[in-house]
Amino acid sequence: MSNLRTLVFFATPPHDCSYLPDREATTMFVDPRANIDKKLYSQLTALGFRRSGSHYYRPHCEHCNACIPVRLKVDDFQPDRSQRRVLQKNGDLECTMVPATFDERYYRLYADYIEQRHKDGDMYPPSREQFTSFLVDGATDSWFLEIRLGDELVGLAAVDMLDDGLSAIYTVFNPEQEHRSLGTYAILWQIEEARRRDLPHLYLGYWIRECRKMNYKTRFKPIEALREGHWRALDVN
């Protein structure tokens, strides 16, 4: 079994940054041959790594530190007025956690979401192979949060269980249900699920101040950022 002392890391060549168009990025990956169990995955996440399928990675850019790992302290979180409205608006939804696996219903929801909302992103055009390699492969105590309106699947969130929290991997939803703010709702649900499981944190991936698409993360407070090896309160002013 691998551990932090025996892990081998690789860095990609510089490539165009997906978030800041005027910059180059370098990504550090854990050796894909390593055997990553839940304990080691939890340790890597606390060090700022993320999971994409069977790959564990962290930005490693020589001249840029814009990508900041962030997490929520769930016991201290209190929804603001806007978030309370989202909860009230979605009181008619039913949520269920199921093991992460391929299902044609999940893929169709994912594909519609990518095709209608992210045609300018790296995941366009969607494919079944892409869905599987991104959200199913490499699963380690990994789950899908099904969000249903009656019999209709309207949202799907990929969630990993860690020793000290949950990791919010990705959320998709029916674009026709945009008025429900299902991305926000999925995070709120995961906060409550972490509380139910007596887990202190919800990891939200990376935050970039200059990237408007990531602004939503700092609406959840109190939020912490990993800087110079320490988790500290994030000041977004």
Task: Give the span between the Cα atoms of 179 and 111, in whole angstroms.
Answer: 19
* 209 lies in some domain: yes
Higher pLDDT, 27 or 139: 27
Statement to judge: residues 120 and 223 lie in one domain = yes
Higher-confidence residue of 158 and 21: namely: 158
- Determine the Cα–Cα distance for residues 23 and 64; give it in Å rounded to an integer: 8
Both 75 and 59 in one domain: the answer is no
The owner of tokens 């977004």 is 236
> Last residue of some domain: 50, 66, 82?
66
Residue 145 sits at the vertex; the CA angle it makes with 223 and 55, to the nearest 5 degrees, is: 70
Q: What is the pLDDT of residues 31-54, one digit of tens each?
A: 999 999 999 999 999 999 999 999
Confidence of residue 1 (pLDDT cuts 50, 70, 90): low
H-type helices in 56-211, by residue range?
81-89, 104-117, 128-135, 182-196
Answer whether residue 2 is part of any domain: no
In a domain, 60, yes or no: yes
The Cβ of residue 124 has, within 10 Å, a number of other Cβ atoms equal to 13
Domain-embedded: residue 3: no
Quick one: average pLDDT of 172-195?
A: 97
Same domain flag for 75 and 188: yes
- Over the stretch 191-233, which tens digit does the pLDDT of each residue have? 999 999 999 999 999 999 999 889 999 999 999 999 999 999 9
- What percent of the chain is helix, strand and coil (3-state, nearest 5)? 30, 30, 40
Give the domain extent around 58: 9-66
pLDDT grade for 178, boundaries at 50, 70 and 90: very high
- Contact (CB, 8 A) for 172 and 113: yes
Distance CA 168, CA 186 (A): 9
Q: Do 87 and 58 have their domain in common?
A: no
User: pTM of the prediction?
Assistant: 0.95
